[in-house]
Amino acid sequence: MNDEMDFTNRTGIELIQLLARRVEEDLSPESDNDRFHAMLGPALIVVAEVLRESVENAPDPKQAAQTAVEFCARWIFNLLIRE
């Protein structure tokens, strides 16, 4: 489990740094809102692509997608709140 968390933390930090650098280099957004949208879109594409195969191969893809979204929402909530 510790190796998984180390991988998760290290890779997450690398991805956000790459994304932030790419936004700065390619877009130079003029507002915080532009920066937010420029970073959130690609991040969500990554999440969707990670989930895509398991959702598409599920007996009920719509239910699998709903379950995956709920799982991701719990993760995001816990990462944001960190109590």
- Listed as own residue / partner, the contacts of 42-46 with beta carbons closer than 8 Å and 24 or more positions apart are 43/15, 43/19, 46/15
The pLDDT confidence band at residue 81, using thresholds 50, 70 and 90, is very high
Residue 42, C-beta contacts closer than 8 angstroms, at least 6 positions apart: 19, 22
Q: Please give the mean pLDDT across all residues of the chain.
A: 91
pLDDT in tens, 29-68: 678 888 888 899 999 999 999 999 999 999 999 999 999 9
Evaluate if residue 28 carries a pLDDT over 80: no
User: How far is 44 from 50, CA to CA, in rounded Å?
Assistant: 10
Q: What is the pLDDT of residue 40?
A: 93
Task: Say how many domains are in the chain.
Answer: 1
User: How far is 38 from 25, CA to CA, in rounded Å?
Assistant: 12
Of 51, 49, 50, 22, which is closest to residue 38 (Cα–Cα)? 22
Host domain of residue 39: 2-81
